Structure 1
């Protein structure tokens, strides 16, 4: 059964028309891990099937950061924290997460350049799919005059 963890990126071309090009971009993710990592059947690289989803995500995060640096993309992790519960909306079935992550990129185009890189797609992205049961990913830019 496919989850949104496999398809969360949506239409990058459409997103690039909505997200302001000249502003730094922050990716905000709410993530729920699989109990045990399950690599996609099409992935041909090294597998760690005995690892937890959280451990597989650490491998993904490290690979993403490394590849972004190799591509000249300057990113910074703004916040990484454990999610405990919803406070305002109340806990909803299926709406609980393990981790919150905010990553700042110089632009959405810089972020997109990593996602479209062949090495990322073939060797790094499968670890994200292996790790995540659910993800909510938001494109965020800072408001200057709020």
Structure 2
């Protein structure tokens, strides 16, 4: 199962709108004992990398039973993280210091969805 983004997907992500803001939907399924490792990653993300690249956690919470979904689509945790731009997100994931702490995320998860979203314009 997928856990980390790969190069070609990051390139396509950047091509969509490199300078526009983006909110990343994170759906997480933890490995046995993985929550502690993810919390370590999350602390580094909040304390160092989000401030450095202008991101912020908008929401973080435990997943519950799905009301409408196919079998197997329950997630252990859900996060929404806003970045000022796709290029800011890309710079963060390319940062050598960030790459050092992503091992905690990779070890923590058996599956993940990292889905960029764009706000609707209501008017």
TM-score by length of 2: 0.88
Corresponding residue for residue 31 of structure 1:
28
Aligned partner of residue 81 in structure 1, secondary structure: strand
1:141, distance to aligned residue in structure 2 (A): 1.2
1:25–1:141 CA contact under 8 A, matched in 2: yes
Q: How far apart, CA to CA, are the structure 2 residues paired with 1:26 and 1:55?
A: 25
1:76, distance to aligned residue in structure 2 (A): 1.3
Number of residue pairs aligned between Structure 1 and Structure 2? 121
Structure 1 position 88 matched with structure 2 position 68: yes
Please give the per-residue CA displacement for 1:51-88, whole angstroms capped at 9, x wherever unaligned.
x2111001011112233256x31211111111111112
Corresponding residue for residue 107 of structure 2:
130
| 5+ long unaligned stretches in structure 2 | none
**Where in structure 2 are the equivalents of 1:13-28 lying within 5 Å?**
13-18=11-16, 20-28=17-25
TM-score by length of 1: 0.75
1:67–1:114 CA contact under 8 A, matched in 2: no
Structure having the higher strand fraction is 2
1:30, distance to aligned residue in structure 2 (A): 0.6
Corresponding residue for residue 96 of structure 2:
118
1:29–1:137 CA contact under 8 A, matched in 2: yes
| 5+ long unaligned stretches in structure 1 | 36-51
Structure having the higher helix fraction is 2
Task: Report which of the two structures shows the higher radius of gyration computed on alpha carbons.
Answer: 1
Q: RMSD between aligned alpha carbons?
A: 1.7
Structure 1 position 57 matched with structure 2 position 38: yes
